[in-house]
Amino acid sequence: MLGYTMKFRADSAVLKSEKTDEASVCELSWEHEAKERRNVGLDEACKVKIRCLDNKACLAKGEESLGKEPEKLSLEKDEEAAIFLPHLVFANLGANYPDFFKKTFNCDNLGKFWKQVERTGDEKLKGHPMTLEKDWRDKTVPLFCDGVEFQSRDTLLTYSFGALGCGLSSLEANLYLASFPKSTTAASTWEPMWKVLKWSFESLGKGYHPERDADGKPLEKGSPFYENRGKPLHPEGWKAYIWAIIGDHEFFANHLKLGHWASHHPCWECDAENWKGCCLEKHYKQISLEKQTFRVWTPAEHRDEPVSNHALFQLPGVSAANVRGESEMMCSMRFLSSREGHKVDISPRDR
């Protein structure tokens, strides 16, 4: 398995990745403008047993390129992956770096943020568990969960999270969760990691350290989570829910298992269609607003009938309605020249 030492630096867009033979080491760090380096300790990293592709065994069999169609490689092995648990990152930042905690989680402006959301009539608030709390507007942090693929030598799928509206640069606001190289990713690699991440995000939404493990069993003595079980994550009662899932359409389709742009139903937000002979008013290339008859699913319908079984959509209050593409990646227009001029071809998701 390829091991990586991950380092994020807030003062430059640099991701340093160092290969190791067998180890899986993750270190999250950032640099403030005052050149003060702070590390989130490795005691917050959780090791998860996974199944991944065995590169060395594949090479021994004469595989020419591990980067080419890695899903067809059948040799797998058991390994451990290190992930950061969001509820522990949240709690430890609050305990050890209170000023940075309030800044990065935008604590002083939460009430203003949620009142603006209410003024828009956002239907995602209806029935959301956070609204059951009396002081939810002032104590609930709206989070984004970001998935992105990058790295120069291999595709590295990386997940991070952070607070919406904090005003910091992405390299300061994005808090690392987990990553894994595509060349060693098997079909089931991410499932155990997301099982644990889901469990941690659920604790973050409640605002308390968990009393049960990711399998639903009561924590026992000897568990690193036993001592803090049932205690508030923060003495002032802060908690957080995922409010936006960010990425591009490729990430949504390939990893979150939402509608692919080339499928018969390319949009997870509406009933747009894409096949020869489909209703023109439903065709995803129909850009005339007067002719469109797309039906947009409500957040309640998304929750009742999830379009994907990904662990993110099993979290309280989270559904495909929370999926929001980054404008830089999603707004991809194709201009086709013709005798009549230029035709703009844009999908309903981009619209």
Write down the mean pLDDT value for the chain: 77
Residue 286 belongs to some domain of the structure = yes
How many residues are recorded in the chain?
351
Structural domain boundaries, residue 241: 3-247
User: Do 181 and 327 reside in the same domain of the chain?
Assistant: no
The whole-number average pLDDT for the span 50-75 is: 62
| pLDDT top residue among 338 and 190 | 190
User: Do 135 and 213 reside in the same domain of the chain?
Assistant: yes
> Where is average pLDDT lowest: 150-154, 180-184, 288-292?
150-154
Residue 257 belongs to some domain of the structure = no
User: Do 324 and 194 reside in the same domain of the chain?
Assistant: no
pLDDT in tens, 86-143: 999 999 999 999 999 999 999 999 999 999 999 999 999 999 999 999 899 999 999 9
User: Do 182 and 326 reside in the same domain of the chain?
Assistant: no
- Its pTM stands at 0.77
User: Do 172 and 120 reside in the same domain of the chain?
Assistant: yes
CA distances from 27 to 7, 22, 97, 215 (A): 6, 16, 18, 26
- pLDDT attached to residue 38: 42
- Burial label, 159 (beta-carbon count in 10 A; 0-12, 13-18, 19+): buried
User: Do 269 and 164 reside in the same domain of the chain?
Assistant: no
100 phi, psi to nearest 5 deg: -65, -35
User: Do 163 and 269 reside in the same domain of the chain?
Assistant: no
Residue 135 belongs to some domain of the structure = yes
CA distances from 69 to 72, 147, 154, 287 (A): 6, 21, 12, 35
Q: Is pLDDT at 337 greater than 80 in this prediction?
A: no
User: Do 240 and 271 reside in the same domain of the chain?
Assistant: no
pLDDT in tens, 45-55: 788 998 998 86
| pLDDT top residue among 348 and 10 | 348
User: Do 222 and 283 reside in the same domain of the chain?
Assistant: no
Residue 309 belongs to some domain of the structure = no
User: Do 215 and 75 reside in the same domain of the chain?
Assistant: yes
Q: Is pLDDT at 251 greater than 50 in this prediction?
A: yes
Q: Is pLDDT at 181 greater than 70 in this prediction?
A: yes
Of 247, 282, 307, at which residue does a domain stop?
Answer: 247
CA distances from 345 to 149, 238, 286, 351 (A): 26, 44, 9, 11
User: Do 162 and 71 reside in the same domain of the chain?
Assistant: yes
Q: What is the spatial distance between Cα 145 and Cα 127, in angstroms, rounded to a whole number?
A: 21
| pLDDT top residue among 280 and 349 | 280
- pLDDT attached to residue 271: 86
Residue 150 makes CB contacts below 8 A (sequence gap 6+) with 15, 156, 158
| Number of compact structural domains in the chain | 2
